[in-house]
């Protein structure tokens, strides 16, 4: 660090989904926009919406989700946003596709351990031309998009669960009491 460089602010605590915080308080808090790869790391530096350098130090294995809130060492809050990133969005073909086609695709992708975001009418995954071809062979529509990515946590590592209502994603702490 040079003499003029300001030290990074430490963020080492997470409030999943901003649990218990007033919406007006959250609306005023600065944010940190991170892609999926960044949100899986437990230690990293980034710049927030105010241009401040933030050092994130979390327990190993802790994954940040869009909507989580980081608590800085000084007690201030920082909203985590899922940044838009290059993805494939997969839907059933209009007129002759069905939800079963999406289920079949999720099955095949799961067998390949592909990380997926699930929704009632589409799947999202990281861009991969080989997988895009496979999905097209399953008679699905595959579009390249730039959108936030919130994949499923998996059966063994989830401490929160997510569900979608009319396009809005909601996070809830798990019933097992873990943070």
Q: Note the pLDDT tens digit of each residue in 69-110.
A: 999 999 999 999 999 999 999 999 988 778 899 999 999 999
Quick: pLDDT tens for 50-75: 999 999 999 999 999 999 999 999 99
pTM, entire model: 0.79
CATH of the domain at 106: 3.30.70.790
Whether 165 is in a domain gets the answer no
pLDDT confidence of 17, banded at 50, 70, 90? very high
Which of these three, 37, 60, 82, is where a domain ends? 82
Report CA-CA distances (Å) from 3 to 6, 7, 148. 8, 10, 37
Q: Identify whether 53 is part of a domain.
A: yes
47 within a domain of the structure (yes/no) = yes
Q: Residue 163: which pLDDT band, with cuts at 50, 70 and 90?
A: very low
The answer to whether position 48 is within a domain reads yes
The H-or-E segment that residue 13 falls in is strand 9-15
Total domains, the chain: 2
**Does residue 172 lie in a domain region?**
no
Do both 76 and 137 map to the same domain? Answer: no
What range defines the domain where residue 123 resides?
A: 84-148
CA-CA distance, 96 to 79, in Å (whole number)? 42
């Amino acid at each position: 660090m040079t003499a003029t460089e300001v030290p990074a602010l430490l963020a080492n605590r997470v409030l999943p989904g901003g649990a218990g915080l007033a919406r007006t308080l959250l609306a005023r808090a600065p944010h940190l926009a991170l892609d999926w790869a960044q949100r899986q790391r437990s230690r990293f530096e980034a710049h927030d919406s105010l241009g401040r350098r933030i050092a994130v130090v979390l327990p190993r294995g802790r994954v940040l989700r869009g909507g989580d809130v980081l608590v800085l060492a000084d007690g201030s809050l920082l909203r985590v946003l899922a940044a838009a990133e290059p993805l494939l969005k997969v839907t059933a073909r209009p007129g002759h596709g069905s939800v079963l086609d999406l289920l079949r695709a999720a099955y095949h992708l799961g067998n390949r351990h592909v990380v997926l975001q699930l929704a009632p009418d589409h799947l999202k995954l990281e861009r991969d031309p080989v997988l895009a071809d496979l999905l097209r062979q399953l008679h699905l529509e595959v579009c390249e998009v730039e959108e936030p990515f919130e994949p499923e946590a998996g059966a063994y590592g989830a401490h929160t669960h997510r569900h979608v209502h009319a396009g809005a994603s909601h996070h809830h702490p798990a019933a097992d009491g873990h943070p």
